[in-house]
Chain A
């Protein structure tokens, strides 16, 4: 299991560049958020649709970044592992609802464990969470790679990081 922290592009500025506005609440960013050129379709990881449903049932609304004009595309990798869509959470939301991310990750974790039950191979789950550090005017990306059971470690890392911002 590994969790790495890296710098991420300024999310609102980048969204504006692509003709979009960051909605309130938890937001799924497209996988090509950093590399897309204006007008290019947003490509979301295929798992985004399922995760949106699971979170909605759990009372955790989530929005996909959109320009309102394009039809989103979905990336489906026929691979062994399971990749979460990139989740962005702003400072305001973290302050108002500090447990929203851990609740969301808990819902996702339960689903993935259920999905993989009966399969005794080690399965890897990849998750990327982008957090806004408004004071430092920076954006940090936490990347998790490991077992579904270890996903709760990401929650701890997010909390530790959010205490500093």
Chain B
């Protein structure tokens, strides 16, 4: 049986432990210890989400979907600070965007998490506090088949609506038989992980985040060619899915 009160209390205890650590200056060791607590609560919330799905309790399942996302946001924010201090700014950026996505997901998952827009705004501001300006990209795809992530049927034929939670899971459109149509540079991408991470410069390849020049790679193109790569890791959002 799911104990709603108990997990709420567990979340309050976790919040009290983690919130004071959500600053860059805090001790890395304490932040890593807090990650153990966030992971523990995420696992518990996930167990209870699955139990609620088995019990066909949609309200509870969606609540746990939201709770997992809220705790994931705390976890990602901690990981962002740790990555920054450990000289891994590209990973820190990814964790920041993961935290933003998790907050947004929590609000959509359940009406129990409506007080988070201020948190989202705070996380957005961190982009300019901690990181240099980024160049974002957006991909356009031509898709022949759209599959519903909930029922696995043709998305055009089923009743599920993309972006909405159903029994502890979000409906997304899985894109099949997709071919690239275009890639464009945009100011506001859907996924802020899609960005230029490096470019060719005199003497090698320059990382856009650290500005470190890695010698030797510029020979791949002419002196004025730009070599761009994007999305070093995509652990939170499948690029072939849309809400």
Contact = CB atoms under 8 A, between A and B. Distances in A.
A79 B189 CA distance: 5
B225 interface: no
B179 to A, nearest CB: 9
B239 A78 contact: yes
Contacts of B12: none
B57 to A, nearest CB: 22
B31 interface: no
Nearest to B158: A53
Please report whether the interface of chain A is mostly helix, strand, loop or mixed according to DSSP.
Answer: mixed
Contact of A76 (B106, B108, B242): B242
Please report whether the interface of chain B is mostly helix, strand, loop or mixed according to DSSP.
Answer: mixed
B191 interface: yes
Interface in B119-145: 120-121, 124, 138-144
B146 A74 contact: yes
Given A78-B242, A79-B188, A80-B186, A120 B117 contact: yes
B175 A76 contact: yes
B156 A52 contact: yes
Contacts of A119: 104, 117, 120
Contacts of B103: 118
Interface string B173-204: 10100100100001011110010000000000
B161 interface: yes
B159 interface: yes
A54 B155 CA distance: 13
A120 to B, nearest CB: 5
Contacts of B117: 118-120
Return the 5 tightest CB-CB contacts between A and B, nearest first: A118-B107, A80-B188, A79-B138, A115-B163, A74-B143
Interface of A: 43, 46, 49-50, 52-54, 71, 73-81, 111, 114-115, 117-121
Given A78-B190, A119-B117, 4 more contacts: A49-B156, A50-B162, A76-B175, A119-B104
7 contacts: A46-B143, A46-B173, A75-B141, A78-B138, A78-B141, A78-B239, A120-B124
